[in-house]
Structure formats: structure tokens, C-alpha cells
Amino acid sequence: MAAIELQGVSKWYGEVIGLNNVTTTIGSGITGLVGPNGAGKSTLMGLVTGQLHLSKGTLRVYGERAWDNPRVLRRLGYCPEGDTFWGYMSGRRFVGLLARLGGLTGAAVRQAVEHALELTGMAEHAHRAIRGYSKGMRQRIKLAQALVHRPDLLVLDEPFTGTDPVVRHELSTLLRQLANEGVDILISSHILHEVEALTSKILMIHHGRIVAEGDLHTVRRQMQDRPHAIRVRTDAPRRLAAHLAAWAEVTGVSVPDEDVLIVSTTKPEQVYDRLPELILREAVQVREIAAADESLEAVFGYLTAS
């Protein structure tokens, strides 16, 4: 069963559209939800976690409606975006309270709390009041409360915001570990390369609509109207460029740097097939051949620009 299913889901705030007729399925593993501010990411997460009502359509989380449904909520761990805490509480009490509200009792609470604090690297700071935490610590304690009751689905709204690269790396490792253990994760982020490093399953959202979904590289290849860019690092970029410009499948070449050649093409597979032969014939040294615009950032830029 899919973790989350949306069928024709719309959400209006008065006359403003938050989500517009979204139909998609979010399955197992990690799914990255990306989009600019105001795209509708938090609206989607609010609907999935039962914080918002649907204006239209149906939304099912593990086959059931999410709004005010403890059967769904007990399987859900939610890390909200904002700095929302009872600041006077210590981290340990905060996570402990939410563990108990999540249904854990007795010794299982202490065990689960310590486990969640260890996983998020917050064990040594957990005795301190949350109001004294740094941004990174706040993000980690929010993550700890989200996973303390061992949910099946983690919904993480911008968990990397305000964290330094070390914390981001640690959190990414943790999320991959949880996904390997069978936890479904829906994560939104502005930091596209972090999402890209976490998963290739992407849901791109813009102006309340899903503009692309699925495997990132598949999405890129389906964008026929956008020529692909291939980057070739070589000691003789101009010599190669002269040959490549004559190829029918090549739409343009450029040499942005002394050792870099960018080849634009609408048929990247054919270019990849023919390039080795050209390189051997010309006896040039090549250090790298790679797609220059298959990154999440590039794809997202194309989609939102169009």
C-alpha cells in the first residue's frame, strides 16, 4: 500500500490557491518534496499530517483519511518547519512528553527517548532547556520527537534549515538509515543538493501544482524541449568543439573555461555513443564526461522558469 495517495487534491485559502488539483502517490523510501517558497510544500505536509482540511479531492495516508484520525496519527512522525517549542522544557522532557502522547508507556518511554536522543546526537544536551538551544540543536530535537515513537511515516518540513554542513550530513545519514529500516520519509527542503544526495525520488511543486515527479534523471530526460548539456573536461576543448559542431545531433558547443567544453544536444544518448570514437581519433586527453544539467537544481530551474 502506498504511504500517501492524493487524488485531485486542492486547498484554497480564501481566494488564494495553496494546492491545485494534485494527484500523486508517495510510496516507500525517501521522497523529496522541492519547490520555492509559497509553492505549496507546507500545505501538502499540513494536509498529510491532518493539520489542514482539503478543499477538494481525497487524500489517504496508509489507506485512511488523515484529519483527526488517531489510527493514522500513531503511525506518523511530524517535524514541523518553524521554531515551535515549549521553550522552558528540557529536550529530554519534550521528547518524553511526545513519546507518551504517542502511546508509549512505562520503561519503554525512557528507552525510546534515549534512543531518539542518541540517534539525533542530542543526548548530551537533552538536560538543557530548549530555549537555550542553537538552531541546529532545535532541528535535531524536533527530529527526535518525530521519530521517538517509531513511526512508519516521517514527514519532515525543512529539517535542514539553519543547520551547518556537519549536522546536515549527520541528519542525512540518519534518514538513510531509517529508510533502510523501512520507514517512509517525505522531506521538503530548499537545499536541493541535500535532497538530491538523499534520494532520487523527487516531487517538484510550483504554484500549488506538481510540475514533475519520479526519478530525477528520468524527469530530466523527459524534458524534450530543453537541450541537454554535456560537460567534457579535456586538454583540447576547442579541437573537439570544431568536430562536434558539425554533428547533426549537436545543437551548440561552448568553451566556458580553458579545459571545459559544454555540448548542447537534444539526443544525449547518441552523443555519448559517438564521443569515445572522436576522442580516440583525435588522441586528446579527457578527464570527465558528465551531464551538466541533470542536477536537481538545474532541472528545477528549467521547470520553474518555464
Partner 1 sequence: MGPIASLFLFTVRQTLWQRKVAVVYLLAAVPCGLVAVVRVFHPPADYMPWEPFQIMTQFVLLMVVLPLVCILHGSALITSEAENRTFVYLTTRRLHRATVLLVRWLAVAVVLTIVLGAGAVGIWLASVWGVEPAQLVVPGRWARIEGPWSPGHDLWCYLCAIPVAVAGYLALFTLIGLASSRPLSLSLSYFILLELIVGNLPIAARVYSLSHPVRTLLVRGMPAIQRLYELPPELAKAVYPPDTTALPELLGIVAIALFLSAVLVTVRELLPTRLARE
The residues that touch partner 1, with contacts defined as CB under 8 A, are 13, 16, 18, 37-43, 46, 49-53, 68, 70, 73-74, 76, 78, 80-82, 84-86, 88, 97-98, 100-103, 105-106, 145, 149
* CB 18 to partner 1: min, Å: 6
* CB 292 to partner 1: min, Å: 30
Closer residue to partner 1 (CB): 149 or 220? 149
* CB 59 to partner 1: min, Å: 14
Distance between CA atoms of residues 129 and 87, nearest Å: 6
Which residues does residue 228 pair with via DSSP β-bridges, in sequence order?
Answer: 265
Distance between CA atoms of residues 81 and 179, nearest Å: 21
* CB 7 to partner 1: min, Å: 21
Closer residue to partner 1 (CB): 84 or 224? 84
* CB 155 to partner 1: min, Å: 9
Q: Cβ distance 176 to 198 under 8 Å?
A: yes
Closer residue to partner 1 (CB): 161 or 163? 161
Q: Which residue in 219, 227, 293 sits closest to 32, CA to CA?
A: 219
Contacts of 36 (CB under 8 A, 6+ apart): 190, 206, 304
The two beta strands, 16-26 and 30-34, are unpaired
Closer residue to partner 1 (CB): 38 or 252? 38
Q: Which residue in 298, 280, 306 sits closest to 229, CA to CA?
A: 298
Closer residue to partner 1 (CB): 106 or 182? 106
